Amino acid sequence: MTSIMLNAIHMQRQSKSYIDSLYTILTAAGLFDGPKYMLSGLTGMAFKFTVHEKLLPLSVSAYGQWGNEHNPAIANLGLFTIWDGGRSRHPTFPHYQKDAVNWVKASLDAGIGVIYWIPEFGVIYGYDDEDAVFYVQDGSSAESEVVLYDNFGLNFTSFWYAQSFGERVQIPLRDMVLESIRLAVHDWDTPHKTLPDTDLASGKLAFTYLIDGLRKGAYDEGGAVYIMNDYIYTRGEVAAYLHDVQHTLPGLDQAAAAYASLRTVLAAAAECFHTGAEGTRVHPARIEQLCSIMQQAAMLEQQAMTICRSIADQYPDRKRSTLPRWGSHTPR
């Protein structure tokens, strides 16, 4: 019987749970060197903003089909990756589950942790064959969770997801920055990423959903605060990221300035919350103030995205302009 424990892995929740997990794994494995906001920016994950019409907390991680969202992020880092996921109700799930248990263990044997949907995303950092369990961190505390091999992928959401990583090739910083702003513009322009479901809005439409949800009043109070906290934190990441990379592309300093202004505007949002017995909530008397802040935020992001689009249009985009031999669809 074999057991492995990657003691260098210590997850901390700060950003989106996917980035928190990814950063923990890559830094522990020596595959990324830099602050978390750089990873969040380079992958384009910091720019993602999704809101459910009822302001449910699931908004923060429901930013699209995870494979479609994460693959471009990881590709922009030059990382090899293996992932699998889907719905655990499908009759083929037991076969994929068994296969995933094996490749997750192989990744841990190689000294690299694995991202795992708990929910939200966390890190598998060890296993024990004798007890047939994985050890998982979610970053919210120092305590670990235990997942039986037989329960791998099972949770209350009906979705399962796991992702491992391999070697990394070096991509010039300018190329990574250019792709990251293209990913940002794509997110901004795409209103719904989980079609046919339109209960969730992304990009610029997400601001409308948030403001309308607050004004209508029948919203999830904990979810509203969670969405706002995520938005405020990730926009701080974007501001820090663009500040550090603005030298790589002419004109990017203007987008960096817009996000610096946005961070200043969002500082006033703290006045709109109050903490009581049920936790932190949006103060009912400050809803209009918060809506006004988010309207200003939307205008500043629109300004930044217009600049980013103008910059991106000046360079060839082979990834999106080259048509594969089989056309626009993948082979079956």
CA distances from 125 to 10, 35, 144 (A): 9, 21, 10
Residue 324 banded pLDDT, cuts 50, 70, 90: low
Q: What is the mean pLDDT of residues 74-100?
A: 96
Residue 325 banded pLDDT, cuts 50, 70, 90: low
Summary mean pLDDT of the chain = 95
Task: Tell me the C-alpha distance between 10 and 23, whole Å.
Answer: 10
Q: What percentage of the chain reaches a pLDDT higher than 90?
A: 93
Cβ–Cβ under 8 Å, residues 111 and 4: no
Task: Tell me the C-alpha distance between 224 and 44, whole Å.
Answer: 23
Angle at which helix 204-216 crosses helix 221-245, to 10 degrees, equals 150
- Does residue 115 sit in helix, strand or coil? strand
Helix extents (H) in the chain:
17-28, 36-42, 66-75, 93-109, 173-189, 204-216, 221-245, 252-266, 287-312, 318-321
Residue 142 banded pLDDT, cuts 50, 70, 90: confident
Say how many Å lie between the first and final Cα of the chain, rounded.
40
Residue 32 banded pLDDT, cuts 50, 70, 90: very high
Show the CA angle centred on residue 44, arms to residues 59 and 327, nearest 5°.
100
Q: Is residue 172 predicted with pLDDT exceeding 60?
A: yes
So what's the pLDDT on residue 49? Answer: 98
Q: Is residue 328 predicted with pLDDT exceeding 60?
A: no
Q: Is residue 21 predicted with pLDDT exceeding 90?
A: yes
Q: Is residue 322 predicted with pLDDT exceeding 80?
A: no
So what's the pLDDT on residue 112? Answer: 98
Residue 326 banded pLDDT, cuts 50, 70, 90: low
Residue 1 banded pLDDT, cuts 50, 70, 90: low
Residue 318 banded pLDDT, cuts 50, 70, 90: confident
Q: Is residue 4 predicted with pLDDT exceeding 60?
A: yes
Q: Is residue 184 predicted with pLDDT exceeding 60?
A: yes
So what's the pLDDT on residue 198? Answer: 97
- Does residue 125 sit in helix, strand or coil? strand
Q: Kindly report, residue by residue over 250-305, the tens digit of the pLDDT.
A: 999 999 999 999 999 999 999 999 999 989 999 999 999 999 999 999 999 999 99
Rounded (10°) CA dihedral 140, 6, 147, 94: 130
Bridge partner residues of 165 (DSSP): 81
Per DSSP, the residues of 126-174 read EEETTTTEEEEE-SSSS--EEEEGGGTT--TTSEEEEEEEEEE----HH
Q: What is the mean pLDDT of residues 198-210?
A: 98
So what's the pLDDT on residue 329? Answer: 54
Residue 319 banded pLDDT, cuts 50, 70, 90: confident
Ranges 85-99, 141-155, 220-234, 317-331: which has the least confidence: 317-331
